[in-house]
Structure 1
Amino acid sequence: MSTAPNPRLLATGTSGNAVTDLVTPALLLRTPAAPWSQLVHVYVPAAPTVAFSGRDLRSPGIAEATALARAAGFEPVVRSPGGRMVAYDEGAVVIDHLDSTTDIRHAGSATFAANAESHVRVLRDFGVDARIGEVEGEYCPGEYSINVGGVAKVVGSAQRVTATGSLFSTVVQVAVSDRVRAVIIDLSRALGYELRESSIAGLADHAPGLTSADVAAAFVADYRVRLDMTDADLPAAVARHAAKAVGGEPFHVDDWTRAHPLAVEGL
């Protein structure tokens, strides 16, 4: 890991495990005196994942939703950022943007707006009519969701801020498979969330032939240039520690990381 005073690092690739992928940014977020100012991790998930939020846990239907996710072949995980449930597989791209200089004073709508504007510019280069804003009946609704043509949601983001920095996490739906569509519909019903099924879509529905690899590469290039980032691997100590994560059903990322803090020596 670089020890430069203000490094901005860009990592790519997945562990292949849904739990490890979601534990990794939570561990990075909780790294005291992190040797980076910003770290962005862009990857194409290898495992079908249902990422619940703390808000979802308050629904009386969470046990049913968890069982439905598991029965459909999705790993149910309670992620660190907020928002509501999202499901994805290898047809998506996930971006975790960590900032060790951010505190609660810099959280909120300004961060969401700035990220959405940057993401929209990348997506428009693929020829899609990407727009910022919530569409009627979308899953995990948000003011700064990104839609295509004002009709269907394709990108959602959520944030977590702690004393050691911020985590801004984004899921870009590129090619929505039948299994992803079905699990979003079934879990929305179980959790009691309204959903307009036609609001579920991927970029490839509007730009045929577009792949997750294409979109991941475009975001990597954008972050590299826009934020002057240096290509790097994820810290080996974090990767090793995240690989130890096991737990209940669904797996609670924050509970595990609080109970198993990372020793920072060697980062």
Structure 2
Amino acid sequence: MKNLDRLLVSGSTANAVTDLVIPALLLRAPETTWSELVHIYVPHAPTVAFSGRDLRSPGIAAATEIARAAGFETVVRSPGGRMVAYDSGAVVIDHLDRTTGIRHAGSATFAANAESHVKVLRGLGDIDARVGEVDGEYCPGEYSVNVAGTVKVIGSAQRVTATGSLFSTVVQVVISDRVRAVITDVSEALGYDLRQSSVAGLADYGPALTAGQVAAAFEADYRSRLDLTDGKLPAEVVAHASTVTPGVKPFHVDDWTRANPVPGV
């Protein structure tokens, strides 16, 4: 097998749906010039990213209406888990790996990523970052990252296909009132238990922190730890993802990417 690039890509496309479609398209591409690609960005638009599991809730229509009324784009993301909401106070990390397969899915991958993320947070200052689910958190997971065992600040979800894996992470840095409210209201509509005090951002513990600073810290970690080279997203993939026109219902990333592969890729 020829040597392929291992890339770090920084920055949002400035469109919430496009940012979520791009990793799904990259994961489905039959051939690429890279073996591993990590895309780290600060989202521009408020987004509620549902999962396939959320769609099975009888409250999904109400949850969608609530999110849209609050000014959030509604998308069904490619990875699993449950609903997550964020805006420009967050950092999103999409880690694509063409060398992994179904054998890499599961707890070992989640555990390794969570431990790495904890080290980054501890390096940002006096933040008591830990791995583990906290009582009543949204999108609950054994390998969530919390602060002091009381609030969730990082959650991850995975998607594995025949062509590789996508490990997606949301880091909550500055939680705005609208994000807190939509997580609460959408969780209630979906019938999920939520302890409102478990919703927090890193800036609640390090007030000087910004999403940009946290994104830079994660970029440095991934660049060093995985020996990545700075690069750009494939222009043809970005252009194709930008043709999406979301409707009233939550835009389903996997449905669209299956029906609309990148021409010539």
Deviation at residue 35 of structure 1 after TM alignment: 1.6
CA distance in 2, matches of 1:262, 1:165: 17
Aligned residue in 2 for 1:261: 261
C-alpha displacement of 1:264: 4.2
Which portions of structure 1, spanning 4 or more consecutive aligned residues, are displaced by more than 3 angstroms? none
Mapped to 2, the partners of 1:264 and 1:162 lie a distance apart of 20
Cα distance between partner residues in 1 of 2:3 and 2:239: 25
**How much identity, in percent, do the aligned residues show?**
74
Partners of 1:145 and 1:110 lie apart in 2 by 13
| Structure 2 residue 143 is matched with structure 1 residue 152 | no
How far apart are the structure 2 equivalents of 1:31 and 1:216? 27
Does the 8 Å contact 1:175/1:202 carry over to 2?
yes
* SS of 1:32 mapped into structure 2: coil
* Cα drift, residue 62 of structure 1: 0.2
Which of 69, 77, 98 is residue 79 of structure 1 equivalent to? 77
Amino acid at match of 2:166: L
Question: For 2:117 and 2:11, how far apart are their aligned partners in 1?
Answer: 19
- Matched to 1:12, the amino acid is S
Give the 3-state SS of the residue equivalent to 1:246 in structure 2. Answer: coil
Aligned to 2:233: 234
Q: What CA distance in whole angstroms lies between the structure 1 residues aligned with 2:264 and 2:135?
A: 45
Shift of 1:247: 3.4
Report matched runs for 1:97-136 at 5 Å: 97-127=95-125, 128-136=127-135
**1:3-42 counterparts in 2 under 5 A?**
5-42=3-40
Distance 2:50 2:159 in 1: 14
Which of 19, 41, 44 aligns to 2:42? It is: 44
Pairing partner for 1:89 from 63, 80, 87:
87
SS in 2 for 1:184: helix
Q: For 1:6 and 1:121, how far apart are their aligned partners in 2?
A: 28
Give the structure-1-normalised TM-score: 0.97
Q: Distance in 2 between matches of 1:180 and 1:215?
A: 18
| Partners of 1:222 and 1:173 in 2: CA distance | 17
Q: Which amino acid letter does the alignment assign opposite residue 250 of structure 2?
A: P
Give the Cα separation in 2 of the matches to 1:217 and 1:90.
15
Look up the match of 1:183: 182
Residue aligned with 1:37, SS: strand
Partner of 2:217: 218
**Alpha-carbon shift at residue 263 of structure 1 (Å):** 2.6
TM-score (norm 2): 0.97
C-alpha deviation, 1:223, in angstroms: 0.7
| Structure 1 residue 34, shift from structure 2 partner | 2.0
CA distance in structure 2 between the aligned counterparts of 1:209 and 1:183, rounded to whole angstroms? 24
CA distance in 2, matches of 1:102, 1:253: 22
- Are positions 1:207 and 2:209 aligned together? no
- The CA RMSD over aligned residues, in Å, is 1.1
8 A Cα contact 1:247 1:256, kept in partner: no
- The farther-off stretch of 245-254 and 102-111 is 245-254
